[in-house]
């Protein structure tokens, strides 16, 4: 079956989908995006994702390309037309098509929108979670406003490629003080030897992950000890557990950091439990 994409008002074959050469997303990375999980035919936490999309658009002074309800309709249509039961749906909005100029274009230039969806394998993801992943540290190389979910991801690409070339599945950014900020496409967590979950505060220095927010809900529901603060690589090396969170990974245990074994070298009980409970704490809407 051919994949279907939505591009600026039209549903087209994925192979034929294209944007204008002077789209500001292509010229300046002048846009934002969101990724939602699709699980068992349900869209996971769509309201939270679209709330964050709204925040990103506002921060960059980009208008919605259409009414929010219309975006929700398109998301569902793209999922259905691609027959995605378990997978991911991607929404990208740019400032639109205009003559290349650093200044914002005229107000009558409409924002561009692209929506795509693809299937993923929960079984394959679980195999990875049962084993755990390795992460590799990388010096922070991004602009200060990483709380805005922009499409300007070249720094993340470089960090994740560095991780791949050094045996890692994910990169962990470290700031000038030697503290972990977040992953190249995930939020970073540790569990201390005392059993406290630790992750960096969601200020402007990290992305306010939706999966992160769900895990925080679970932490409260399960009565787990939580400490929202920075943590160093050295503290991570000595942690009982480590894991990352994102819509594309859910709760993914980390068993190695910079080649060092974390805990006993196997996924920890806290991360495993949070992964098992994850979808019980999410907002699930029919696709």
User: What is the C-alpha to C-alpha distance for residues 51 and 38, in angstroms, rounded to an integer?
Assistant: 17
Half-sphere exposure of 142 (CA within 13 A, CB side): 31
Is residue 104 very low, low, confident or very high in pLDDT (cuts 50, 70, 90)? Answer: very high
CA 71 and chain centroid, separation: 19
Q: How large is the average pLDDT for residues 256-277?
A: 98
* Reported confidence tier of residue 1, pLDDT bands at 50, 70, 90: low
Is position 149 annotated as part of the catalytic site? yes
Rounded Cα gap, residues 236 and 242, in angstroms: 7
pLDDT digits (tens, 9 = 90+) for 15-55: 999 999 999 999 999 999 999 999 999 999 999 999 999 99
Among candidate residues 42, 99, 118, 149, the one labeled active-site is 149
CB atoms < 10 A from the CB of 23, how many? 20
Mean of pLDDT over the chain: 97
The arithmetic mean of pLDDT across residues 249-266, rounded, is 98
Q: Is the pLDDT of residue 148 over 70?
A: yes
Can you list the positions of beta strands (E) in 192-270?
197-199, 226-228, 231-232, 241-246, 250-257, 260-261
Instruction: Give pLDDT tens digits for 71-98.
Output: 999 999 999 999 999 999 999 999 999 9
Q: Of 133, 188, 138, which Cα lies nearest the Cα of 158?
A: 138
> pLDDT of 181-238, one tens digit each?
999 999 999 999 999 999 999 988 899 999 999 999 999 999 999 999 999 999 999 9
Query: Model-level pTM?
Result: 0.96
At residue 2 the predicted structure's pLDDT band, cuts being 50, 70 and 90, is: confident
Residue 144 has pLDDT above 90, yes or no: yes
Contact present, 185 and 156 (Cβ < 8 Å): yes
Which residues have C-beta within 8 Å of that of residue 276, sequence separation ≥ 6? none
**267 in Cβ contact with 129 (< 8 Å):** yes
Instruction: Count Cβ atoms below 10 Å from residue 5 Cβ, excluding itself.
Output: 21
- Host H or E run for residue 106: none
DSSP 123: H
pLDDT score of 205:
86
Q: Half-sphere exposure of residue 93, counting CA atoms within 13 Å on the CB side?
A: 25
């Amino acid at each position: 079956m051919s994949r279907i994409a939505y591009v600026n008002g039209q549903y087209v074959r994925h192979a034929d989908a294209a944007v204008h050469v002077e789209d500001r997303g292509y010229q300046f990375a002048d846009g934002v995006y969101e990724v939602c999980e699709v699980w068992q035919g349900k869209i996971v936490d769509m309201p939270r994702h679209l709330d964050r999309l709204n925040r990103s658009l506002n921060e960059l002074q980009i208008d919605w390309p259409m009414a929010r309800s219309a975006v929700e309709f398109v998301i569902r249509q793209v999922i259905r037309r691609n027959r995605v039961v378990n997978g991911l749906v991607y929404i990208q909005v740019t400032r639109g098509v205009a003559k290349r100029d650093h200044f914002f274009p005229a107000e009558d230039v409409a924002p561009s929108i692209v929506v795509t969806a693809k299937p993923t394998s929960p079984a394959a993801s679980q195999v990875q979670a049962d084993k755990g992943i390795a992460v590799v540290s990388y010096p922070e190389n991004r602009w200060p406003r990483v709380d805005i979910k922009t499409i300007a991801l070249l720094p993340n690409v470089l960090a994740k490629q560095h991780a791949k070339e050094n045996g890692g599945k994910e990169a962990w950014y470290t700031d000038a003080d030697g503290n972990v900020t977040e992953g190249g496409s995930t939020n970073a967590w540790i569990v201390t030897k005392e059993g406290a979950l630790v992750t960096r505060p969601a200020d402007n220095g990290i992305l306010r992950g939706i999966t992160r927010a769900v895990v925080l809900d679970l932490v409260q529901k399960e009565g787990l000890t939580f400490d929202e603060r920075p943590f160093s690589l050295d503290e991570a090396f000595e942690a009982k557990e480590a894991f990352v969170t994102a819509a594309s990974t859910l709760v993914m245990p980390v068993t190695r950091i910079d080649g060092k074994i974390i805990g006993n070298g196997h996924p920890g009980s806290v991360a495993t439990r949070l992964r098992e409970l994850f979808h019980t704490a999410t907002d699930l809407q029919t696709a």
